[in-house]
Homo-oligomer: A and B are copies of this chain.
């Protein structure tokens, strides 16, 4: 039985090798990713029982996503397979300074965005679970997805699960107005909110004076605290997590995190990352926090673990955090750039 349930879309990721652009490539690497899928997979890598709930078409790509989910030990028994429909795709072009990386989505009309309201029996899904996680991408996929998100969050809350929600604003999917209106249907049921200052503004309408997150600028932690204070005041979140990325360049980032819990702030140490693949970094941060909460780490240890875990993710290709718990602990305790033999 899974402790953590995540709900959302996973897509097939297609990306050219060796910094090539899509227009010039003759081959694509293939992997799987999606905000909530990433969280479920990263939790399973940390030996947390997780189950990913979604809708997939019964075709090779749908089965491929199911298989890769199982590969990591995530429960797939709650996935709904549909005879027809398509799998969403996203294309990634990796850049280097001054060319930023780019993601192109081709996710319209995916099986999950065409889901029916009663495809999923949430009572059954939540049976025995402790935690429910989803993100702002899911309700943005379609009105039915928004409704199911609402149903799921309320049901989770009702059944006593901790509910975490990553605001994850996606401008390709909806406007700030739509995001705000929809999110307000269920945000009050959220215990643990994740997001950054852009999400806070676009999805929650929270904007503080100095909220200007420059790309290369040093991050202003006070600004983040201010925003979080606003969020907590307005929506009564028990916990808020924010990952802090400073982009020294496209391939060199500084990475840390801030956790608000029970009225206090906990700031992690910072890592300089030589970026290999930053996609999934934020989801690993979330998974690291959920892991820590489920395993009752203290708050400072929780944010340290989440940041170290998600820093490692960004040195590994694909959305998945292919590390072991021990490796995270080793990084926190020993660090070190020397080769390990």
Contacts and interface: CB of A to CB of B under 8 A. Distances in A.
A331 interface: yes
Given A102-B339, A341-B170, A251 B278 contact: no
Contacts of A273: 96-98
A16 to B, nearest CB: 9
A26 B23 contact: no
B18 A17 contact: yes
The majority secondary structure among interface residues of chain A is loop
A249 B336 CA distance: 9
B172 A341 contact: yes
A272 B98 contact: yes
A249 B317 contact: no
B71 A341 contact: no
Contacts of A98: 271-273, 308, 311-312, 315, 331, 335, 337
Nearest to A215: B336
Interface in A236-271: 247-251, 253, 271
A73 interface: yes
B20 A61 contact: no
Interface residues of A, number: 84
A22 B61 contact: yes
A125 B49 CA distance: 21
A331 to B, nearest CB: 6
Interface in A59-74: 59-61, 63-64, 67-68, 70-73
Interface string A284-301: 000000000000000000
A224 interface: no
A317 B24 contact: yes
A32 to B, nearest CB: 11
Contacts of A72: 67, 70
A318 B216 contact: no
Given A86-B106, A312-B99, A322 B24 contact: yes
A31 interface: yes
Contacts of A20: 316-317
Contact of A19 (B64, B100, B276, B341): B276
Interface in A295-330: 308, 311-312, 315-318, 320, 322-323, 327
Contact of A100 (B104, B272, B340): B340
A148 B20 CA distance: 37
A175 interface: no
26 contacts: A14-B14, A20-B316, A21-B60, A21-B322, A21-B323, A23-B60, A24-B317, A24-B318, A26-B31, A28-B28, A67-B73, A70-B70, A89-B89, A98-B271, A98-B311, A98-B315, A100-B336, A102-B341, A105-B341, A215-B335, A215-B336, A216-B337, A247-B337, A247-B338, A250-B274, A253-B337
